[in-house]
Amino acid sequence: GAVVSQHPSWVICKSGTSVKIECRSLDFQATTMFWYRQFPKQSLMLMATSNEGSKATYEQGVEKDKFLINHASLTLSTLTVTSAHPEDSSFYICSALILAGGVSTDTQYFGPGTRLTVL
């Protein structure tokens, strides 16, 4: 259980175009999902917290008008990179939060990532 998928797994686009990345929780519902960016040989950096039915919360330094997040259902969050430029090339990873309740811990399960290359 607790499988998170992302689509596409990789995408190459021209500078100035927009790219949409989907994150789905396949066998559970997730009120909260997260979007991360990871540059080569670096750690994951949280970009934003996506909450179903409400506006996403962006981390400091992340442009909300450039990285549009929509969490329209309990199993799907999308990240759209608008007017992409080469510096946006990165590995984008989403995660979905499972709230365990009780004495169990709340856990994030990660998707496989999407490699974006902007030419």
Partner 1 sequence: GESVGLHLPTLSVQEGDNSIINCAYSNSASDYFIWYKQESGKGPQFIIDIRSNMDKRQGQRVTVLLNKTVKHLSLQIAATQPGDSAVYFCAETRGAGSYQLTFGKGTKLSVIP
Residues near partner 1 (CB under 8 A): 4, 6, 32, 34, 39-46, 49, 87, 93, 95, 97, 105-113, 115
**What secondary structure does DSSP assign to 20-66, as a single string?**
EEEEEESSS--SEEEEEEE-TTS-EEEEEEEETTS--EEPTT--TTT
Judged by beta carbon, residue 46 or residue 68, the one nearer partner 1 is: 46
CB proximity list for 57: less than 8 A, separation 6 or greater: 48, 49, 51
Judged by beta carbon, residue 81 or residue 97, the one nearer partner 1 is: 97
Judged by beta carbon, residue 45 or residue 76, the one nearer partner 1 is: 45
DSSP state of 101: -
Q: How far is the CB of 68 from partner 1 (least distance, A)?
A: 20
Angstrom distance (rounded) from CA 109 to CA 2: 7
Q: How far is the CB of 86 from partner 1 (least distance, A)?
A: 8
Q: How far is the CB of 67 from partner 1 (least distance, A)?
A: 15
Q: How far is the CB of 80 from partner 1 (least distance, A)?
A: 20
